[in-house]
Amino acid sequence: MTMQTFGIVLIGTILGRKSGFLSVLLYLLMGFAGIPVFAGFGGGLDTLVGPTGGYLIGFLPMVYLTGLGSKKSYYSGIFLSICGLLTCHILGLLEYYRVTGTWILPSVPLMLAKDLVTTVLAISIGREVYKILGSLSPNHN
């Protein structure tokens, strides 16, 4: 288990949908280019087509939906972030199955439970950080 989903939700909450999406896209491009930025210091195109590649691609809709919800009410933000989280998990599970031919369904409840808790935590922290940044810069949007 990693804290990548926490980071993705935090990025979306603080940067919003456009800047958050571009930041995560840059992160993925760096990793796919071979820079070891993924979990376990992984990188390269083989990571994209490997068992966890679907989760990595799932970060894009996840950060976009989180960013979309970041400027809405707290509960709308949580709802959209959870939609993004579920999208990420679905893409991840499908890619894992495509590559390995097996489902990892028994571990999904534990992964989802951890990710749900860290999603709410990241949104709460991210909203406070956003407020602080906004108070420091009149041009922060």
Query: Which residues lie below 8 Å from residue 27, measured CB to CB, with a gap of 6+?
Result: 37, 59
Residue with tokens 């804290």: 3
Residues of the chain with pLDDT > 70: what percent? 96
Q: Is residue 49 part of a domain?
A: yes
Q: Is residue 139 part of a domain?
A: no
CA nearest 124: which of 81, 65, 60?
81
Q: Is residue 24 part of a domain?
A: yes
Structure tokens given for 14: 């603080």
pTM over 0.85: yes
Q: Is residue 138 part of a domain?
A: no
- The CA distances from residue 73 to 32, 69, 76, 139, in Å, are 35, 8, 5, 22
Query: Which pLDDT score, from 0 to 100, does residue 45 have?
Result: 87
What whole-number distance in Å separates Cα of residue 17 and Cα of residue 19?
6
Q: Is residue 33 part of a domain?
A: yes
Q: Which CATH number is 48's domain given?
A: 1.10.1760.20
| Domain encompassing residue 12 | 4-133
Model pLDDT for residues 57-92, shown as the tens digit of each residue: 999 999 999 999 998 999 999 999 999 999 999 999
Model pLDDT for residues 21-40, shown as the tens digit of each residue: 999 999 999 999 999 998 88
Q: Is residue 104 part of a domain?
A: yes
Name the average pLDDT for the chain. Answer: 91
Q: Which residue type sits at 78?
A: I
Total of domains in the chain: 1
Q: Is residue 84 part of a domain?
A: yes
